[in-house]
Homo-oligomer: A and B are copies of this chain.
Amino acid sequence: MIFERIAIIGAGLIGSSVARAARETGAAETIAVFDASEDVRVRACALGLGEVADSAEEAVAKADLVLLCVPVGAMKDAALSAVSEVKTGAIVTDVGSVKSAVIADVAPHVPAHAFFVPGHPIAGTERSGPEAGFAALFKRRWHILTPLADPRAEYAAAVEKLEAFWRALGADVERMDAARHDVVLAVTSHLPHLIAFNIVAMAEDLESVTESEVVKYSASGFRDFTRIAASDPIMWRDVFLNNREAVLEVLGRFTEDLAALQRAIRWGDGQVLYDIFDRARRMRREVIEAGQETPAPNWGREN
């Protein structure tokens, strides 16, 4: 057991997975859960995720660890209602996909007698809601902590303890500067989602090709993009609104490179195309060798 009592604010895919994993691994003795939606609270209760509280204040009252598991745009409100009353020595963390903006929104509301250690699990599926969570979600996945520049020895101890918690849930923990996190994730996560959303939404209202044709022949490549484009639209709206600079920077680079490909196609420059495609091919081997992807062709999905 790492914590006696944890409070999870937000019982979606991530929050409900933390609840399940904390119970299954015994990382927490007692699990309190709150969600701003009454409907979600009822479902969390039916799922047996923990002690479902009627208010954020009630959930966090005696908690040793408070986890803010809400969309990035809702972090400020969650902090305002959940964090000001935490007990002395409590640790507050979050699971937001953007770190600098969340720190700006949450840190001012964490009392001096508590410790705010921002975090981000590199884990998830395209599903949303409390039913979508599962205990193994964090296993062998990276969890990034972006500790504040707090010189107190107790703060360092709080970071260690939170790290132990995520390790108990099966994650590998890495520490990083918040600004660096936001740049790295703009590349590995935010841009890929933006591209996927764009191509899928585009294909829905083409003039030249019908939506049913796109669906019918999607196994030729398109369907791959529909997976991450099925992710929660509110969560992703908030990511882009809160990591604007880094996303626009990497998006600029993407469109620049795409223009070069476009030009090579227009002028029939096969060598340029081959060289770029060949470089791209090597990347998958590295991803598989790093244990970040299954080696099974087609992800092992049934055809």
- A residues lining the B interface (CB < 8 Å): 73, 97, 122-127, 132, 136-137, 139-142, 144, 183-185, 187-204, 206, 208-209, 211, 213-231, 233-234, 236-238, 240-241, 244, 247-251, 253-255, 257-258, 261-262, 264-266, 268, 270, 273-274, 276-287, 290, 292-294, 296-303
- A3, chain B: closest CB distance, angstroms: 24
Give the chain B neighbours of A136 by CB distance below 8 A.
303
Seed contacts A192-B225, A211-B286, A244-B266; 17 additional CB < 8 Å A-B pairs: A122-B217, A126-B298, A188-B203, A188-B218, A193-B221, A196-B221, A196-B224, A215-B287, A219-B293, A226-B280, A230-B283, A233-B280, A234-B274, A237-B277, A238-B270, A293-B301, A294-B302
A185 touches B225 (CB 8 A): no
Number of copies: 2
How would you classify the secondary structure of chain A's contact residues: helix, strand, loop or mixed? helix
A233 / chain B contacts, CB cutoff of 8 Å: 273-274, 277-278, 280-281
25 A/B residue pairs, CB under 8 Å, sorted by A: A122-B219, A124-B220, A141-B219, A142-B217, A187-B206, A187-B214, A188-B220, A188-B222, A190-B221, A192-B220, A198-B280, A203-B283, A215-B283, A215-B292, A218-B292, A219-B293, A224-B225, A226-B293, A229-B281, A230-B281, A230-B284, A233-B277, A255-B262, A299-B300, A300-B301
